[in-house]
Amino acid sequence: MKPSIRCLIVALVLFAVAGNYRALYGQSLGSLPAVDSLARFEAIPNDLVFELLGLPGNSIQQPGTVSAILASLTSAVDFKGNLAPGAAITLAPYQLIMGDSLELKDYVGNSLVRILSNTQISLGTAPARDADSALDWGAGLRIVILNSGDGRVNKTYIDQLLNAGDTLLKRFPLPNVGSTVSPSQLSDNTKALKMSIDARNIMLKDSVDSVDVNALASYLKRADSLGSPISDSLKAYLSTIKNNVQGRASLQAAKKSITQQKLTPAWNSTSLEVNLGTVYRANSAQVGQSHFKAFRGWVNGGIGTGNSQFIGQIGVEMDKGEAGSGDSTAVTSALMYRIGNQYARFGVGVNTENFNKGVISMLGEIRVTGKTWAVISFDGQVASGARPIWKPSLTLKLPAGQFGSE
Amino acid sequence: MANQAKANPAGGPVSWSIIISHLKVAVYRALLMDSTNTVVQKWEDQRTDDSIPDTFELTQPVAKLAGCYLWWQAVVMDPSDAGGPYVGSVTVTQDGNMLCSESAPGTIPPGKGMADLYADQVQFI
């Protein structure tokens, strides 16, 4: 598809969203009661609009093509034009419009291209959590101005990735010039390489120690189903991965190399980003009859220094209360210093709300598995003129959300 | 059916180029086989990390290209670790004219070090 056509379709989608915003914005927030909770913060928070809607991270679709966007939007709206709950889409308009004409050298050398490429729009719908038969829908905007943890600008990391790819290729050598090779042999070579890549992806996704015998078993079945003369050798190769201690150790080393040698770990990158999210409530699931529900805007920044990081955040939160509860607005700010690595870290920080309430936090985070973190914290709530009230808490952070107790 | 390219025997040298889109990087290799399945040219240890086409000239005489086929494999990776879609494209040209262009979409799973395979071939007729 031509960039101009892609641009037109993306513009139409954005225009439709913007049109709804214009129709709905500017509604009165009324009086502002006290805010009842203080928000925790992360250097890079979950997507604002999905957080406001209460959608889990693993339900978010990230369509990378215009046709995929249209498919996602189709699933979010039924045939009568009503919103369907549970839609969660994130898209990067500039990347979609530029598509395959976006060049990595421009991304590396031009900060404007980088900012535009990393600007994301989020759209989501969810059943209202505090009102029966109502539907919340929202849109969010994330602009990443700076992110030193972006591997695309890290030549050393790119070289490490390509070295790993080269190792994969060399596992299945090609015949030399002057040799004869049949098309079926080349086809088998490609099948074996594909299986190797898939098996490696499984290894990288999960802990090598816990691999995933079931997943490998499914590959063995696939190898069987190939019906190719190489099937036996593929089976032998995959069995080697599964059973051979040396093979497992080599995969472990490869994984360690990829996960540890990235020069600027994402956890303590130097970054600056702006997040805006607005949620509307549709009592009849019709977008046109929605009313303003909540708005949040955050600016997050981080300065990474070796094995430590300063992170800060300032934001505003506005919530329109339902019947029986008032509207609220709060300005929040946070500052934290963390030290550690990608497996464990310790931090001290302070959150404030409207600059007259605050929480002093001591935080320990330990990575349990790939994307699962255990967080132990002691929070001391401070209000002007009162003694701090300390509360311990234990939280398990998973890709699907956070679960914890106080 | 394999992608086909027809070169002009009286024309200039034939070249092929490969590009990987969407800010992805790749390590790749290719073979040129003649009609007897003998390898006549080989490219190994090739890398693309700039989203700009890498171009190579075929050394096989143009008059002998009919019956040959160009075969390639590329391991595609995403340095952002976010994964996502990409398009791999190989184009065969002669004297500035495109003889054949083959493109295939792919998707890299999210996560550090994840990869995808882009592989195909072009038949000269």
Average pLDDT over residues A351-359: 80
Cα distances (Å, whole numbers) of residue A389 to A59, A165, A335, A346, A363: 36, 54, 20, 21, 16
Single-letter code of the amino acid located at A30: G
Any CB–CB contact under 8 A between B1 and chain A?
no
* Phi-psi map region of A209: left, alpha, beta (phi>0 left; psi -120 to 50 alpha): alpha
Q: Which residue of A has its CA nearest to B21?
A: A100
Q: Between A181, A193, A255, which is nearest B33 by CB?
A: A181
By the 8 A CB rule, do B125 and B6 touch? yes
What pTM was estimated for this model as a whole?
Answer: 0.68
Indicate whether A209 pLDDT > 50. Answer: no
Q: pLDDT class for B4, splitting at 50, 70, 90?
A: very high
Q: A258-314 pLDDT, tens per residue?
A: 555 444 455 677 888 898 888 888 876 566 677 888 888 888 888 888 788 888 888
Of residues B26 and A72, the one with the higher pLDDT is B26
Q: What are phi and psi of A299, to 5 degrees?
A: -115, 125
Q: Note the pLDDT of residue A115.
A: 92
Q: Between A68, A152, A166, which is nearest B23 by CB?
A: A152
Q: pLDDT class for A38, splitting at 50, 70, 90?
A: very low
B115-124/B3-5 β-pairing: parallel
Indicate whether A235 pLDDT > 70. Answer: no
Q: Which residue of B has its CA nearest to A175?
A: B39
| DSSP code of residue B22 | T
Q: What are phi and psi of A354, to 5 degrees?
A: 50, 20
Average pLDDT over residues B5-14: 94
Nearest-angstrom CA–CA distance, A184 and A182:
5
- Cβ of A255 within 8 Å of Cβ of B113? The answer is yes
Q: Note the pLDDT of residue B66.
A: 94
Of residues A388 and A380, the one with the higher pLDDT is A380
The distance of A231 to chain B (nearest Cα, Å) reads: 19
Q: Note the pLDDT of residue A44.
A: 39
Any CB–CB contact under 8 A between B9 and chain A?
no
Alpha helices for A244-383 (secondary structure H): 245-260
Indicate whether A176 pLDDT > 70. Answer: yes
Q: Using an 8 Å CB-CB cutoff, list chain A residues near B104.
A: none
Least confident range from A42-46, A152-156, B40-44, B76-80: namely A42-46
Q: Note the pLDDT of residue A23.
A: 34
Q: Between A152, A197, A255, which is nearest B75 by CB?
A: A197
Q: Note the pLDDT of residue A75.
A: 55
Q: Note the pLDDT of residue B38.
A: 95
Any CB–CB contact under 8 A between B112 and chain A?
yes
Nearest Cα neighbor of B19 from B44, B48, B56, B43 is B48
By the 8 A CB rule, do A271 and A301 touch? yes
The distance of A90 to chain B (nearest Cα, Å) reads: 12
Q: Using an 8 Å CB-CB cutoff, list chain A residues near B79.
A: 151-152, 154, 157-158, 161
Q: Which residue of B has its CA nearest to A205?
A: B111
* Degrees to nearest 5, angle at CA A64 with A58 and A66: 125
- Cβ of A204 within 8 Å of Cβ of B112? The answer is yes
Q: Using an 8 Å CB-CB cutoff, list chain A residues near B40.
A: 177
Nearest Cα neighbor of A105 from B56, B87, B74, B48 is B48
Any CB–CB contact under 8 A between B33 and chain A?
yes
Q: Note the pLDDT of residue B42.
A: 97
A290-305/A271-282 β-pairing: antiparallel
Least confident range from A325-329, B5-9, B12-16: namely A325-329
- Cβ of A175 within 8 Å of Cβ of B31? The answer is yes
Q: pLDDT class for A391, splitting at 50, 70, 90?
A: confident
Exposure b/e, B25-42, CB count within 10 A at least 16 = b: bbbbbbbbbbeeeebbbb
Q: Between A150, A177, A190, which is nearest B40 by CB?
A: A177
- Cβ of A164 within 8 Å of Cβ of B77? The answer is yes
Q: What are phi and psi of A82, to 5 degrees?
A: -85, 150
Q: Which of B47, B49, B116 to mutate to test the interface with A (most CBs of A within 10 A)?
A: B49
Q: Using an 8 Å CB-CB cutoff, list chain B residues near A181.
A: 31, 33, 37, 39
Least confident range from A133-137, A175-179, A315-319, A322-326: namely A322-326
In the block, tokens 């290209």 appear at B65
- Cβ of A64 within 8 Å of Cβ of B22? The answer is yes
Q: Note the pLDDT of residue A289.
A: 73
Q: Note the pLDDT of residue A11.
A: 54
Q: What are phi and psi of A76, to 5 degrees?
A: -90, -15
Least confident range from A133-137, A266-270, A388-392: namely A266-270
Q: Using an 8 Å CB-CB cutoff, list chain A residues near B115.
A: 164-165, 168, 197, 200-201
Of residues A8 and A372, the one with the higher pLDDT is A372
Nearest-angstrom CA–CA distance, A125 and A128:
9
Indicate the average pLDDT of chain A. 69
The distance of B95 to chain A (nearest Cα, Å) reads: 23
- Cβ of B38 within 8 Å of Cβ of A95? The answer is no
Least confident range from A208-217, A250-259, B63-72, B91-100: namely A208-217
Exposure b/e, A159-178, CB count within 10 A at least 16 = b: ebbbebbbebbeeeebbeee
For chains A and B, CB pairs below 8 A equal: 141
